[in-house]
Structure 1
């Protein structure tokens, strides 16, 4: 099986650096956080953007949708190239393009231009999904989970804190300033990474068409990849159910909180990012399967707490922390597991996994909005629990199949 998958591969040679050091890991983590933030800056700014262009709430929300669509396109069409072209060059090119797209958004004279810029921002902000496989390739087998976890922690913090930063900048300096600042950050990152990031030798020698076809082959032939994709997709659906509806819950009874307090829950959720390196370490010591099971059980427990105790602040805070820890522990362990499958195809393995992951997230957002509109917080909790339970049962089913062999 493996020989057919790798018929157009050549053995992956070591990158120029003999080992990955702590400074490089931190640089990768910071880069992931700053780049992924590009995707989420616009969300707290939508009302201000709508006022600028005299748009309805439903129409201006297309900006956030366009950015997500662009990110999915970048993930599926560009990230696989990490196995075919030199990764450092690809990363630097994408950062420069992201800087240009952010500048276009800041300058946008019309809503149409801003939507186009938003799609481009999404496409060129998929850099973290190139850096994470690169970090996995640089790390040795004993430390791979821990290294991936540290790099992922930067990504998670960027996602959680980007809304808070953007909301503050937008309120005090205007929404265009946030995009200009993001563009400048991409330029600075390009310069730093040009000096510090090691180079690598591509492992795939076929055409782009054969590269994309290999995504189908990898998915078909690698059961652990299918398992990780399904478990990750359903789990992220459960995660998205919560974060999509939390703002509605907090603005109503019994809390009646404003947007400033709602943003504070993003800081609470950052506790999940702290669990990422710990989850990676557990995957290194006891295997990814162990950490995945623990993460799924934590996510199930979190929804039980949120469903029954979410009407009390303490219960809501505890539930948020446990949910984030459980989701991130499972996510990091899933990635550790797939990166060990075929080292020469790590970018494509990550593409398959993350595409399923974001499809699940989109499904969860839709389901969460429907559940809130029809059954309130009880419906949200039940829906989120159901998605996580599906992830748990799928994982158990694949474990039994593997043990039966």
Structure 2
């Protein structure tokens, strides 16, 4: 009798184990058949002087683009990963290589400054993956460093130099310029390109001084600029560095005094103006490829942005990140593949259309040919709210501000 009971109990255990195994098999099969996530890396400054240029706003812009696209592409769920490059090329490169080699990311967007962006581009070339350059302003990304796997969005230093420099040199009639320049690739390129525009307009460069990235005290640089007696003190800076320099220039009474000097914030963004305040920034002229209050579509997108980041105003880097990610995903869908060269070629075939762009084309060297807008900071009296900081003075087509393909000198190899 005991033998029979033991046999029954044994057979029951076997039945339970077989049932459990049968339940595990479809679960394991389902996991094996689950589509691999489509990973997009967002690389930029999340903690330093460019946090408001790129930072959380750039990550949010990418997320909004993914949501508007539908959350998946080629049957794969889209996942956003972000990392702080700390404005260091070694960290940017390590982040990019980890995304490409370990996480199997298909594309990286961002590259907040030109030095870190060049590092990411090298990693993308070696991995054969796509890179959407948004934030870095050196025009060489569509010139001698052009690539069959990359495109450059929003602006470059040549476009800003032409747009802002020509307006100040010809419209105001100021002949001499002195540069306070960020001491890395972006600042050097912005000074170089603006200097050429000034010379072509009949002006001259009286001198320049280089400021390290992340400088808190600009007093010595501003005093050198004041001593030059140049008509325009050109700030080839960005982010918190630019904000600090403009605020300190106001504290020193540098502008509007007996010398009649003017400030030029060559890479001034709308969110910088909010940080500086209208009293200190009034009258400054700059250029961007986006202004939040330009159309009903840009205002609607800004409301979505502000709902997720209260108190923050989007700039052209944020807007172009949305455009780049959305256009890239459309190209992947149209091409039916993630192969970087094929997708990059498809991006150039398709016009860029979204809340900020209408039938904008991408040149073969990767330059996105968006228009640029001349913006002037309003007076406190003219402003109707905390974000009402600038007015659009003019719209300049891409053909007037970006280098021609011949001038850029792209020789695509990889």
> Do they superpose with TM above 0.5?
no
Q: State the structure with bigger RCO (CA 8 A, min sep 6), 1 or 2.
A: 1
TM-score by length of 1: 0.25
TM-score by length of 2: 0.25
Higher share in helix: 1
Higher share in strand: 2
Instruction: Please tell me whether Structure 1 or Structure 2 has the larger radius of gyration of its CA atoms.
Output: 2
